[in-house]
Structure 1
Amino acid sequence: MKTKYIIHFLTAAILFTNVATASVYKNQKEDPDKDRIIVYVLKNILSRYHYVQKDLDDNFSEHVYNTFIDGLDPSKRYFTQNDLKEFSQYKYLIDDQIRESNIDFYKLVYGRFLEKLKKAKTTYRTLLKKPFNYNKNEIIDVDYEKIPFAKNEDELLDYWRKQLKLSIISRIESAESDQAEKAEKDKTFKKKSFTELEKEARTKVLENMDDLYVRIDELENSDWYSTFLNSIVTGFDPHTSYMSPKIKSRFDQDMSGKLEGIGARLQKKGMYTHIVELISGGPAWKQGELEAGDIILKVAQGDAEPLDIVGMRLDDAIKFIKGNKGTEVKLTVKKIDGSTKVISIIRDVVELEETFVKSSIVEKNGKKYGIINLPKFYIDFSDLDSRDAAKDMEKEIERLKAENVSGLIVDLRDNGGGSLKTAIEIGGLFIDKGPIVQVKYRGEEPLVKNDTDEKIQWDGPLVVMVNEFSASASEIFAAAMQDYKRAVIIGGKQTYGKGTVQNILPINRFYEQYPTDLGALKMTIQKFYRINGGSTQKEGVYSDISLPSRYSYMEFGERDLDGALPWDKVKQASYTPKNSYSNFADVVYNSNQRVLNDQRFQKINEYAKWLKSNQDDNILSLDYREFKKESIRREEEVKKFQEVFKFESNLTFNSPKYEYQLFKKDTVLKDKRVAWHKNLKKDIYMNEALNVLSELQMKKEYSIVKH
């Protein structure tokens, strides 16, 4: 299949993203013809155009089988091994069914699922009528991905009992902690008894379960069918996904930067709502306590009773988290260290401006340095004449040059990617001309993507900051700067490791006669490679200077995704490393020594090891006394690391001069910049990046080594 022929069918926008979202239709009737049509079209698109030529064989069939069942029942609340025994008749036949646009497997599992949902209502209501035995010595394993399905209905009932009991004792423990705090502040405060707290907790869990099943009852066939479709398409790779019309619309808004709410991107994983990314400049980002990797357990509107959102679908959870500007939302979150924390955030409008490039100037040892923060590689594909990341970067560099900065930091931390076009153009701002990245379609030779503009926007010292959340287009840029020896890469041990390219294909384009919107397919069509030939897939970009972080020892990134495409390499492109610095090795060595001997970084490294040791701790006691002891023990351990990231430099960060004119008309912008500069002052990683930048010395004449 020739590239030009493929492009004829593909949309113009090449996108990078590492966040998958569940798709949801609402209040639509079952349409068997539509269901079969979508499977038929998806099968043909994937077989012809996906980067991987995947055999629809027994292994693929087994993937769909397991993924769909786990998608419907992630917490093992519905199906038993007896159900699975019946389902297993299709375990190695689904590939044949897909080829024939047959959905018998889906109909069997979905039909049984509906039966189980009805039974579940009676189950939890019966169990919650009276107290559990809170002194019984028993445990629960909350690693629902690994625990087996219940052997039979009796064991399934016990699964339900333990999960409900855990919800109740968690609430009791939280309520007792709240009472202790109130009693300490107010000596007249009267504490409620355990019995009273237990009854309140049980009542609240019942209310939450009722609310959950009201929302479940509103869903119809198309909601669950999207889960089935995604179990098929993710069999090709984890970044390929089916997008309902509603989810496609949300994706388009996200890509253009039109974000609402607290300023956080959320992802549903099993029963839980995870924080995937904080939007630079948004309310959560400015508040400073919420972090990527946190799990939201409850949501409260101001001082109102918190609502448990565990098990809630993402769309509904978002409705409770969003709200009017100026209102307060309190999120009960589980931190990655296992502790639970209530975080108060004042909602605000997350303006488009906050996803754009911004810069700051700092003076160190008598010299001025520029810092450019790039939250993502943004572009509006519907209007290529509008502003984009490359144009804004070029303009910002020019402004900093006018203020005589001696060096530049490009901060790509938490930058999840964006447009390939802008990544190439931004790379070109720091070299005269040459290749930036290689892209490869299935079965074809790689295409070298070049910067063709000989102009160098910045030829001085350059440091690029990355972390474990720097992905995709960020990795293209960082890798190119590293291969050219144009910049020092500093940050986490390695970046996210997403070396694939996705494209959005409207399904109706392939079945034009269907009258309504069939949704879209986000499909992996390319892999990209560094100019040195190596892929960033799974491996990411290894930092020249690796700084300890909370993720240093944890399984994280693309390499942790099931079905992620493998690392490989292609022929090296022809390029000339710049070898820009006369003291590159010395600067790297000096930084490594500083970090090694810095007690603050040592403490961060110790914290990272502790997090790793607790990563697989999924066994909880259901004996309330032991549960409370374990909770206290964990809180005490967490306290040891409370100050681990506490740092404040003696540096002062300021806006470039042009922004001071803007502040006269826009006091909100001024407040946002003040908040950002305050965070930079407390940023131990930025402090070390500035140490590195201040030591770099440019060669007067670059050493030319032709590849």
Structure 2
Amino acid sequence: MKITNKFNITLIVFLLIFQSLKADNTFAKDTDPEKDKILVYVLKNILTRGHFVEKDMNDDFSEQVFHSFIDGLDPSKRYFTQEDVKEFSKFKYEIDNQLIADDVSFYNIVYQSFIEKIKNAKSYYGALLAKPFNFKKTETIDIDYKKAPFAKNEKELINYWRKQLKLNVLSRIQDKLEKQEAQLEKDKKIDVKSFKVLEKEARADILKNMDELYLRIEELEHEDWFSTFLNSVVGAFDPHTTYMAPRTKERFDQDMSGKLEGIGARLVKKGIYTEIFELVSGGPAWKQGALEAGDIILAVAQGNSEPLDIVGMRLGDAIKFIKGKKGTEVRLTVKKKLDGSTKIISILRDIVELEETFVKSTIVEKEGRKYGLIDLPRFYIDFSDSNSRDSAKDMEREIERLKSENVSGLLIDLRNNGGGSLKTAIEIAGLFIPKGPIVQVKFRGRAPEVKNDTDPKMQWDGAVVVLVNELSASASEIFAAAMQDYGRAIIIGGNQTYGKGTVQSVIPINNFYPNYEKDLGAIKMTIQKFYRVNGGSTQIEGVYSDIAMPNKYSYMKFGERDLDGALVWDKVPQATYTKTNSYENFSEVVNKSKSRVALDPKFELINEYAKWLKSNQENTSYSLNTAEFSAESKLIEKASKKYATAFKYNSDLRFKSPKYEFPLVEKDSILAEKRTIWHTNLAKDMYVAEALNVLQALKLKNVEVITKN
């Protein structure tokens, strides 16, 4: 069976193991009790005074932190037993009192116990994988560990390990058997391996994966595992309030701005080595030309200084030495992938822009008219540099470029856009309306405040369609909701967007403890809820599409409504605004599209597929008997074949870069390849094809508007 059609069992189990350990490091020596207490002191004060939800630190709060922390350390029930949890339960209603006193005793006791449990892990999995499992035994495993109880004692705990590892091995054997069967169909003369041989190989594969996993665990530092406890505390207020350790904050800033300073290479850990995974197009390493994907970095020198050996160093630390300020030199000692030779490569660091973060556009011709498609991956901004590029500035420039090529309408793709800057979302919405309110925001205990576009000019007065899905969230929902409320655009895509109607502010903790020399990180805290101009919140509900199209997410649980502790939906008074009512035939176009989607056998098949995925998501039980597992696999494989063609589609549309990109792709082969792949995928995207049908059918009312220069 293709286990990915149900769940990728091996991946899920390993992720659960790593998730339970990501906040732990048995070997960490950088503990700092003073810093820990300062963090608790500052965080509790920030939260109780500034969070949108007014919440008392009481017994209910204490119980929530208790369960969150233990589940966060051991989500797959591999370490703690019921006896351990019973011992911890002495503190279940004392955590709030400890936090008020800046005391982390509960944390220390649980963690010390956890350290002892981790020490046993290698002996558990090593012994269990040293000999074959009994695959003739009739038994099952349920991988919904949220519902599973903790093991009664160590004997039962080892049995938990046995079942989980047995499932991993069984899944790996099944994959090997399927590959062997596929090879046999092509070549009857290949050597066929017995089940015994495949089983031995599978156990060796799983053992190697486990060893690599625990090697990564050993690299984690005190900062990592203490963050799990702090996030159990701050997460008790709402699921989007998080503590960000200094390294996490640095990554967050990079994601928000879409840029970093360094050599422009993505790195991965391969065993004890740091390997080049990918070069960033246009970055310093790409321009220098000597570094390639697959090369291994052995040592790092700053300019003419002595090189530092980074073999065996944790990836985060290695990156610290490789990154650096613009204009500084780094000399890398590299083992080349192609010939194994060792070379010293000098690179001058620079600002690296992550191209895939930024707005990009393409043009497609349809029945003699041109249309622009703008992809907006996120609402990015660099808060530290007001002169830097951001999504609003880029969007305005991209629209102007498309206007110069005489496009007849714009399709804005917000699929998988998880949000970003509220400021840029408001500014981008303002590009499409004369002026008026875009969103309402509300602090705790205050009346809602209306955020307006005050510029009476419009950057684009033509037809607009906005494409969304269930992963379009936050700032994406602000923009889509404004376009819908004004009647400015047709929203098409998933049934409803994610439903994140809250605003977070990132606050450096050192602002509240300025005399402390060490970096305390930051808190990303929910400080506001936002509301549509019609008064309704997008919290939980999201934005319902004017035209809903089935997709693989249609019945899955992963939206805001499925998060524990999510804030509730509510509403405020409607803002004063005037609808643009831009189209003569809005309802007609919507109804015709709905009919096309309903009658399209492709979408009907996708809807069936989505229901099938949902049923598989709910079925978390697996047989650990070879014959039964194989039979279940074949049933799933047979069912999945029915949906194999669900997303196979070709519109015959041809997408091309706008003219300003021609010289860029000519001199940048990586960018050219990325654009070719993007354009090819767009032509095979049935959701884009239907959105373009809608865009083509829209007729504007004869309304005089003033456009921006």
8 Å Cα contact 2:257/2:381 also seen in 1: yes
Q: 2:502 aligns with which of 496, 500, 507?
A: 500
Query: 1:314, 1:113 → 2: CA distance?
Result: 24
Shift of the 527–628 alpha-carbon distance from structure 1 to 2, 3 Å rule, reads same
Structure 2 alignment gaps of length 5 or more: 1-20, 269-279, 283-293, 296-313, 321-333, 339-350
Q: What is the CA-CA distance between 1:674 and the residue it aligns to?
A: 2.5
Partner of 2:76: 75
Pair 326,401 (structure 1): closer, same or farther in 2 beyond 3 Å: farther
Structure 1 residues 213 and 652: alpha-carbon distance in aligned structure 2, compared to 1, 3 A threshold: closer
Q: Are the equivalent residues in 2 in contact too, given 1:281–1:672 (CA < 8 A)?
A: no
One-letter amino acid of the counterpart of residue 198, structure 1: E
Task: Indicate which of 380, 383, 390 corresponds to 2:382.
Answer: 380
For residues 452-601 of structure 1, the aligned pairs below 5 Å read 452-601=454-603
Which residue in 1 is equivalent to 2:95? 94
CA distance in 2, matches of 1:666, 1:120: 48
Give, in angstroms, the shift of residue 488 of structure 1.
0.5
Letter in 2 for 1:555: K
1:344 aligned partner: none
1:443 aligned residue = 445
**1:626 aligned to 2:628?**
yes
What secondary structure is seen at the aligned counterpart in 2 of 1:578?
coil
Asked if structure 2 preserves the Cα contact closer than 8 Å seen for 1:23 and 1:243, the reply is no
In 2, are the aligned partners of 1:22 and 1:314 still within 8 Å (CA)?
A: no
Deviations 1:456-476 (A, max 9, x none): 111111111111111111111
- In 2: Cα distance, 1:532 partner to 1:200 partner: 61
Deviation at 1:250, TM superposition (A): 1.3
The equivalences for 1:103-118 within 5 A come to 103-118=104-119
* Contact 2:500 2:539 survives alignment (8 Å): yes
Judge conservation of contact 1:579–1:702 (CA < 8 Å) in 2: no
| 1:124 counterpart residue number | 125
Shift of 1:175: 2.0
Comparing 662-671 with 415-424, greater Cα deviation is found at 662-671
In 2, Cα distance between equivalents of 1:496 and 1:169: 36
Residue 130 of structure 1: how far off its partner (Å)? 2.2
> In 1, Cα distance between the equivalents of 2:641 and 2:119?
44
Rounded to whole Å, the distance in 1 between the matches of 2:606 and 2:171 is: 29
Unaligned runs of 5+ in 1: 1-20, 267-279, 283-300, 303-312, 329-348
Aligned to 1:9: none
Instruction: Measure the CA separation in 2 of the matches of 1:480 and 1:164.
Output: 50
The Cα shift of 1:361 comes to 1.9
CA distance in 2, matches of 1:206, 1:366: 60
CA drift at 1:218: 4.3
C-alpha separation between the residues in 1 aligned to 2:337 and 2:498?
Answer: 35
CA distance in 2, matches of 1:97, 1:702: 65
Q: Which amino acid aligns with 1:700?
A: N
**TM-score, reference length from structure 2:** 0.82
Q: 1:225 to 1:181 in 2, by over 3 A?
A: same
Residue pair 2:281, 2:668 contacting (<8 A) in 1 also: no
Maintained 8 Å contact 1:54/1:236: yes
Of 650, 671, 674, 1:672 maps to: 674
Contact map agreement 1:23 1:246 (CA 8 A) in 2: no
Write the distance in 2 (CA, Å) between the matches of 1:431 and 1:699.
Answer: 14
SS of 2:202 mapped into structure 1: helix
Deviates more, 1:396-405 or 1:245-254: 396-405
- 2:100 aligned partner, one-letter code: R
Cα displacement (A) at 1:50: 0.9
Residue 337 of structure 1 is matched in structure 2 by: none
| CA distance in structure 2 between the partners assigned to 1:625 and 1:281 by the alignment | 50
- Corresponding residue number in structure 2 for 1:682: 684
The 2-side partners of 1:314 and 1:127 are apart by: 30
- Deviation of 1:601 after TM superposition, in Å, equals 1.0
Residue 425 (structure 1) shift: 0.9
SS of structure 2 residue aligned to 1:430 = coil
Distance 1:592 1:42 in 2: 49
Query: Aligned partners of 1:442 and 1:509: how far apart in 2?
Result: 22
CA drift of 1:325 comes to 14
* Secondary structure class of the residue paired with 1:160: helix
Partner Cα distance (1:663, 1:132) in 2: 55
In the other structure, the counterpart of 1:199 is 200
d(CA) in 1 for partners of 2:399 and 2:421?
A: 20
Cα distance, 1:429 vs structure 2: 0.8
RMSD: 3.1
C-alpha separation in 2, matches of 1:261 and 1:689: 39
1:315-330 matches, within 5 Å, as none
Deviation at residue 525 of structure 1 after TM alignment? 1.1
2:172 maps to 1:139:
no
What is the aligned partner in structure 1 of residue 618 from structure 2?
A: 616
Which secondary structure state, in structure 2, belongs to the residue aligned with residue 620 of structure 1? Answer: strand
Q: 2:196 and 2:84 mapped to 1: Cα distance?
A: 39
**3-state secondary structure, aligned to 2:118:** helix
What is the CA–CA distance in structure 2 between the aligned matches of 1:449 and 1:503, rounded to whole Å?
17
Residues 248, 520 of structure 1: 8 Å contact kept:
yes
Instruction: Report the residue type matching 1:373 in the other structure.
Output: D
How far the C-alpha of 1:607 sits from its partner, in A, is 0.9
What is the CA–CA distance in structure 1 between the aligned matches of 2:361 and 2:336, rounded to whole Å? 27
* Candidates 395, 398, 401, aligned match of 2:397: 395
Residues 327/232 of structure 1: CA separation in 2 closer, same or farther (3 Å cut):
farther
**How many angstroms does 1:587 deviate by?**
0.8
Greater displacement, 502-511 / 39-48 = 502-511
Give, in angstroms, the shift of residue 633 of structure 1. 2.0
TM-score by length of 1: 0.82
Larger displacement relative to structure 2 (475-484 or 121-130): 121-130
Contact 1:484 1:577 (C-alpha < 8 Å) held by counterparts = yes
Map Cα deviations across residues 218-264 of structure 1 (whole Å, 9 max, x no partner): 44544322111111010011111111111111111122224899999
Deviations 1:659-706 (A, max 9, x none): 234344344433332222211111101111111111111122499xxx
- Cα distance in 1 between the residues matched to 2:499 and 2:38: 35
Shift of 1:400: 1.8
Structure 1 residue 214 displacement after superposition: 3.8
Partner-residue secondary structure (3-state), 2:431: helix
Cα distance in 2 between the residues matched to 1:595 and 1:208: 45
Counterparts of 1:611 and 1:409, CA distance in 2: 29
Conserved 8 A contact 2:223-2:245: no
2:149 matched residue in structure 1: 148
Match of 1:615, SS?
A: helix
State the Cα distance separating 1:71 from its structure 2 match.
0.9
Say which is worse superposed, 152-161 or 656-665, in terms of deviation.
Answer: 656-665
Q: 1 CA distance for matches of 2:531 and 2:69?
A: 33
Higher alpha-carbon deviation: 492-501 or 665-674: 665-674
Q: Which amino acid aligns with 2:600?
A: D
Change (3 A) 1:46 1:326: farther
Counterpart CA distance in 1 for 2:621 and 2:259 is 41
What are the superposed Cα offsets for residues 156-188 of structure 1, whole Å, 9 maximum, x if unpaired? 121111112112212222222222233333333
Distance 1:46 1:124, change over 3 A: same
Deviation, 1:23, is: 6.6
Matched, 1:228 2:229: yes
* Counterpart residue type for residue 580 of structure 1: S
CA drift of 1:433 comes to: 0.8
Name the CA distance, whole Å, in 2 between partners of 1:119 and 1:532.
58
- Kindly report which structure 2 residues correspond to 1:290-439, keeping only aligned pairs within 5 A, or say none: 352-439=354-441
Farther-moved stretch of structure 1 (208-217 vs 465-474): 208-217
- Deviations along 1:472-526, whole A, 9 cap, x unmatched? 1111111001111111111100111111111111222212232212221111111
Q: 1:208 to 1:375 in 2, by over 3 A?
A: closer
- Work out the CA distance in 2 between the residues paired with 1:460 and 1:622: 60
Aligned AA for 2:542?
G
Q: What displacement does 1:112 show? A: 1.2
Deviation string 1:409-468 (CA, Å, 9 cap, x unpaired) is 111111111211111111111111111111111111111111111111111111111111
Change (3 A) 1:504 1:402: same
Amino acid at match of 1:520: A
